[in-house]
Amino acid sequence: MEIKENKNNLRNNIIRKTKGELLKCFNCGTCSAGCPVSQISNFNPRKILRKLILGINLDEDIMSCVTCFTCTARCPNGINIPKIIDVLKIQYNIEGIKNNNTKFNEAFLNTVEKNGRLYEVGMLLKYNMDTGNLFQDAEFGLPLMLKGKIGILPHKSKNAKAAKEIFRKVKEIDERE
């Protein structure tokens, strides 16, 4: 995944939004050794930070970071790596770069924003449409419905309005930053 924004702009943007966290990295690799996603993929937080510092294109799937903070807890400099990756995720979003993880997140958040809670059927339909795989996992839907595990119609939370307000405020903060 290649971000179109000028590499220096991106680097400076990350440094500004994370108050210089990126520059504290001395490339020791402790973060990658503890990262659960690194154990099962080519995702590597040390490499991501190094590439950002040097202005090299990223080929890691940054969307697979699960924001568990294990890296930050282990980093000798306490660098907030998930925050750096969050800035990258926002930039990917701005540039419309999407993979299946992004599409899943969007489908999930979309139903939570509308209903104040997850609406499984709505989420899966949106995800399947967005990924162009309409009948993906369809064989699980009917048995789950028959067992009452998922409903055909959404059940709105009584706090749906408050949830919507949280989404509105987050968007407002995003636009301000």
**Which chain residues interact with ligand SF4 by CB under 6 A?**
25-31, 35-37, 45-46, 49, 65-71, 75-77, 79, 81-82
The minimum distance between CB 80 and ligand SF4, in angstroms, equals: 9
Please give the span between the terminal C-alpha atoms of the chain, in angstroms, as a whole number.
23
**Closer CB to ligand SF4, 76 or 151, in the complex:** 76
State how far the alpha carbon of 3 is from the alpha carbons of 6, 10, 142, in Å.
8, 9, 40
Q: Which is closer to ligand SF4, CB of 24 or CB of 164?
A: 24
Supply the minimum distance, in Å, between the C-beta of residue 73 and ligand SF4.
8
**DSSP secondary structure code for residue 107 in this structure:** H
Least distance from ligand SF4 to the Cβ atom of residue 75, Å: 3
Asked whether the CA dihedral 123, 125, 129, 132 is positive or negative, the reply is positive
Q: How far is the CB of 85 from ligand SF4 (least distance, A)?
A: 6
Based on CB atoms, which residue is closest to ligand SF4, 75 or 87?
A: 75
Q: For residues 18 and 111, which CB has a smaller minimum distance to ligand SF4 in the complex?
A: 18
- How far apart CA 24 and CA 77 sit, in angstroms, is 7
The C-alpha atoms of residue 177 and residue 174 are separated, in whole angstroms, by 5
Beta strand ranges found along 86-160 (DSSP E): none
